[in-house]
Structure 1
């Protein structure tokens, strides 16, 4: 089965089906979780997480102690803390699926761009792209404010897969209609990978998410 992969989790309580970063069955190798108490999704998305930096470091240290070979997180907005956290941890750390954007962009034909789907468009700034190693902003679409994903993650509503899938597909469709040059999709939100295959099938585009990044990182950190 290989070495374990460590996942630093926000303090949330919604359902996580297979495909979600927080479901152990989403991964083809052993994973372990460590929750940062009090770190809510909205706190991290809004960038009001200065008071939690030490706690994120402590979670990474604990996962290292438990035998993890590398680390990731359960929120793509933590890319803003990539350099700060990586500098204080001994294990390789990939905070966000957004770290894949520079590599994906290099793989695309001339004139094609990486499209990003995010949990909150207003909160995803140029600073996030810079921390991800991408000098310019990609075309971005955000999930609807107050929509099904927001009600699930922040409002405690039940998991309704058909409604969530429709909302996400509509968001991707709108993004591609607005930006027809898109040649690949990166999903910022770690709760979207359960729908990655459906996006690929419907739009015939490569899709990258926290699972594609985590599998790559684990392969290198575990020796294959």
Structure 2
């Protein structure tokens, strides 16, 4: 679905907790072909994120982790300017989605945008306003 929303020659950037965990077997399992136009970056080399999320150290420096996640997204888009949108694979990343969007100028999807999309199709509101 997300790949279909991109322009021709654009790629989807995926930020995940640990890049090696997002292997082709997992991607195939969610319908992403091996030749899909994606670029993946993991957070396993970022000390604040790694300690708090991957190693479960029991505390998190929110400013440090925010900087690491946003910085990784910026580097990904800088290294791959053909990225048209970003997907936050890790459930610990949505709090930084707005900062990522502001810093990269790209649309950002995560599990919260998926829930909002499904909710909006199931729980419709009465229309009020102008077309």
TM > 0.5: yes
CA RMSD of aligned residues (A): 1.7
Confirm whether residue 148 of structure 1 aligns to residue 72 of structure 2: no
Q: Tell me, yes or no, if structure 1 residue 178 matches structure 2 residue 79.
A: yes
Please state whether the residue corresponding to 1:191 is helix, strand or coil: coil
Question: CA–CA distance in 2 between the matches of 1:107 and 1:155?
Answer: 35
Q: Tell me which residue corresponds to 1:82.
A: none
Contact 2:46–2:68, Cα closer than 8 Å, also in 1: no
* 1:41 corresponding residue in structure 2: none
What's the TM-score once normalised by structure 2's chain length? Answer: 0.83
1:208 matched residue in structure 2 = 109
- Deviation for aligned residue 1:155: 2.9
Q: What are the residue-to-residue correspondences of 1:6-155 with 2, within 5 Å?
A: 103-136=1-34, 137=36, 138-145=38-45, 147-153=47-53, 154-155=55-56
State the distance in 1 between where 2:108 and 2:46 align. 25
Distance between the aligned counterparts of 2:83 and 2:89, measured in 1?
16
**C-alpha displacement at 1:112, in angstroms?**
0.7
Partner of 2:63: 162
Over 3 Å counting, the alpha-carbon distance change for 1:112 and 1:217 in structure 2 is: same
Conserved 8 A contact 2:41-2:72: yes
Distance 1:146 1:173 in 2: 14
- Structure 2 residue runs of 5 or longer lacking an equivalent are 125-131
Give the aligned length.
Answer: 121
Counterpart CA distance in 1 for 2:40 and 2:32 is 14
- Which residue of 2 is the match for residue 47 of structure 1? none
Alignment partners' CA distance in 1, 2:80 and 2:30:
21
SS of aligned partner of 2:7:
coil
Aligned-partner Cα distance in 2 for 1:218–1:131: 24
Unaligned runs of 5+ in 1: 1-102
